[in-house]
Chain A
Amino acid sequence: MENSIEVAGLIKRFGQTTALDGLDLTVAQGEVHGFLGPNGAGKTTTIRILLGLQRADGGTARLLGGDPWHDAVSLHRRLAYVPGDVTLWPNLSGGEVIDLLGRLRGGVNRARRDELLERFDLDPRKKGRAYSKGNRQKVGLIAALASDVELLLLDEPTSGLDPLMEEVFRQVVAEETEQRGRTVLLSSHILSEVEALCDRVSIIRQGRTVETGTLTQLRHLTRTSISAELSTPPNGLADLAGVHDLHVRDHQVRLQVDSAQLDTVLRQLTSHGVRSLVSQPPTLEELFLRHYETEPSK
């Protein structure tokens, strides 16, 4: 299968600061790809480079088989973009903005537009200045989703949406990929949204990709928390691979273990006689938080 987005070793500097420091990102055709990272990690910069709005200082970026900078206009007819903060023209109504952006992309699907207006419960007659943050976001989303395009670039598109609308957004994006075969790059902070929608995920931090893979693969990177009471004081646990945050007090043990090493660690524990055992399942949240925590930069 051809890849919709191929980014390798992308570098972007703004004066003294390095926004992207060798970022890699591959999005296969037809998948929903989650793009995660803390604020300032470089998600928006990456998307702007993919849109040909900003020029990379190094590395390569390919989008729908073309060069994002040189082929910008022809590529843009095949994609739709929703920024994290949709700004509207104060004197244009929401419906006018949806139609204008759709036409500039090469056409609006009228039926789809009207259906989306209804599902997102948006009044298209209000002027741009009269919309709340969430409603501005809906205008951007409907303009993008009602266009006949192959690729959707969504940069934190649900910021400001209420939970009900968040749910509508999930349904609509699921339809986009299942029924229309569209590819989606979804930058997000919301874990449940990513778990519900994404086939694969890339986590970036400080302009670099730190993890990438399917959610199942990422779950293998998560850790199980174990606390146990043993018959005899344990030994040798600290030497085992994959054990983290080990606390031993007499017969009590608390530790975290990489999912891949779970079996080895359990064998070691049972060899000391397990009297009680509490285990907390791995969560992606824990994995993400681990990557969000800022390490002192190198």
Chain B
Amino acid sequence: MSAFTGTGALARLIVRRDRVLLPIWMLLLGLLPLSLASGTAQLYPTDAGRQGYIDSLAGNPMLLLFYGTKPDNASLGALIYWRSATGMVIMALIGVLFVIRHTRVEEEAGRRELLGATVVGRHAPVAAALATISCASVLVGALVTLGMISQHTPAGGAAAMGLAWACAGILFGAVGAAAAQLSEGAGAARGIGVAIVGVAFGVRGAGDVAGGGLSWLSWVSPLGWIYHVRAYAGDHWWVFAVIAAAAVAVTALALRLSARRDVGAGLLPPKLGPASAGPGLASPLALAWRLHRGSLYGWLIGLGIVGGLLFGGVAKTSGDLLADNEQLKQIMERLGGASGAGDVFIAGSLGLGAIAVAAYGISAALRMRTEEAALRSEALLATGVSRLRWAASHLVFAFLGPTLVMVVTGLAAGLLYGTATGAVGRELPRVLAGALVQLPAIWLLAALTVAVFGLAPRRAPAIGWAALSLCVILGQVGAALQLSQALLDVSPFTHIPHVPGGPVTAVPLVVLTALTVALVVAGLAGFRRRDVPIT
């Protein structure tokens, strides 16, 4: 028996477990460049138009942070490779998280031990996770290549671009495998993996934004190598040799680390906690704070502050950009009303941010289900804690958490946009209002999750996420697919007024809020009456 015996069977198990999630993200990411290319080709049919577009975007350092240094030509392919670079960062993140999910998480749950006692080689679990993420990444890359070829871009550039996307998933899958060896807890492993992606992104971005004497920085970062493939703008094939060497080295490191430690153990010693609880830890709310604070901080910083500053910072540039392009301006105004282009951008960004925050609201509401299924709610409900009090401790985070994130997003975006336009006093309240009008739609999705949790708990995760996916599809591609208005109206986000800029009508906000209250009441009534735990 070799150290890799059983890899194939384990890979099939991974595919079976992720049979829903895997195709969804593969399709979403794989088709992203295609959709971007077809839209851009219509708006900027000429090289001159595209060059103007590239120059105006490249004037904004915030965008260089995401896109990297601008391409040396204005072909459609070069523009799309540059504009969709964030997709490669998402591939890297997925690579890290996917491999940790199928190695360290399994180990922490004790399932790895169950498998390890069967005919499975020592390296098989890591190898299976890496093989699966590599195949998935290559398929995404193939989709990217085919999509770009279908837009009449050169095949060589399309191949380089697809390979670059695939490499992001493969290389950072290996990084995830190495990170998974370090800590006993999956949470810490995820933190380490995401931090590596973050540092790689930051170092690369710093090099690209600073340019000149510091541009070598972006060569230090593994993400920088992937950016430096520069598809359609030189096609640096030799960079792939660097990436492949790094991927092999990191994989070998992960396998060595995994061979040196016991199953379940980590290389870093686990941290000890306090021997007794602080005086504050005496209520379900205090416990809920411990359980929810990590993700609340993450959303506040990630979306609230970073996202808000980004929206506000880019709004001025994109406003100027729109002013130059009559055709684009007309399209945006049709979407967001006849106000200034900067307003249109802010309202659109806040709408996108609101979808992400709705995901946070749903996941916070689903925490109740996790707690119930893990039998941890049983331990609390057997003490002097009523069901309503327990549920309320989580609902605080499902509803006030997203509210707080949107407030911070609005403040950050308004502050930066106001500073850029020189009218903080005018823009701050307008942008904040734009963030706040999104709340009823966000709440409604969390409330739907709560209702299903109370009435049919086993279905809560599926229905919560399905509802969000429906809203994403209707909101993002519904108009392009020319779906009927009645269908678009299913999404609560359709009814949110476009603020700042558009007219504000209170009726939809009141109706959505009333529906939210009704769903929460129904959910809580169901939860009070039903058996606990339903596993």
Contacts and interface: CB of A to CB of B under 8 A. Distances in A.
Interface of A: 48, 51, 53-55, 72-74, 76-77, 79-81, 83, 85-96, 98-101, 103-106, 124-127, 129-130, 140, 153
B274 A125 contact: yes
Contact of B275 (A85, A95, A129): A95
Contacts of B271: 127
A55 B381 CA distance: 14
Given A95-B275, A104-B384, A124-B275, A53 B185 contact: no
A296 B384 CA distance: 42
Contacts of B187: 90-91
Nearest to A69: B529
Contact of B382 (A53, A95, A130): A53
A89 B376 contact: yes
B282 interface: yes
A144 to B, nearest CB: 9
Given A53-B532, A126-B272, 10 more contacts: A87-B374, A90-B185, A91-B291, A95-B276, A98-B276, A98-B277, A104-B383, A129-B108, A130-B184, A140-B379
B281 A99 contact: yes
Interface range, B side: 35 or more
Q: Is the interface of B mostly helix, strand, loop or mixed?
A: loop
B262 interface: no
Contacts of A73: 384-386
B291 to A, nearest CB: 7
A103 B273 contact: no
Contacts of A91: 187, 290-291
30 contacts: A53-B531, A53-B532, A55-B531, A72-B381, A76-B383, A76-B385, A87-B374, A87-B375, A89-B291, A91-B187, A91-B291, A92-B287, A93-B273, A95-B275, A95-B276, A96-B281, A100-B287, A101-B383, A103-B277, A103-B282, A104-B383, A104-B384, A105-B384, A125-B272, A125-B273, A125-B274, A126-B270, A127-B271, A130-B270, A140-B379
Nearest to B291: A89
A83 B286 CA distance: 23
B530 to A, nearest CB: 8
B320 interface: no
Contacts of A96: 273-274, 276-277, 281
A99 B279 CA distance: 9
Contacts of B291: 89, 91
Nearest to A93: B273
B504 interface: no
B378 interface: yes
Contacts of A89: 287, 290-291, 376
A106 B286 CA distance: 16
4 A-B pairs with least C-beta separation: A93-B273, A99-B277, A104-B383, A81-B382
A141 B532 CA distance: 21
A54 B531 contact: yes
B121 interface: no
Contacts of B290: 89, 91-92
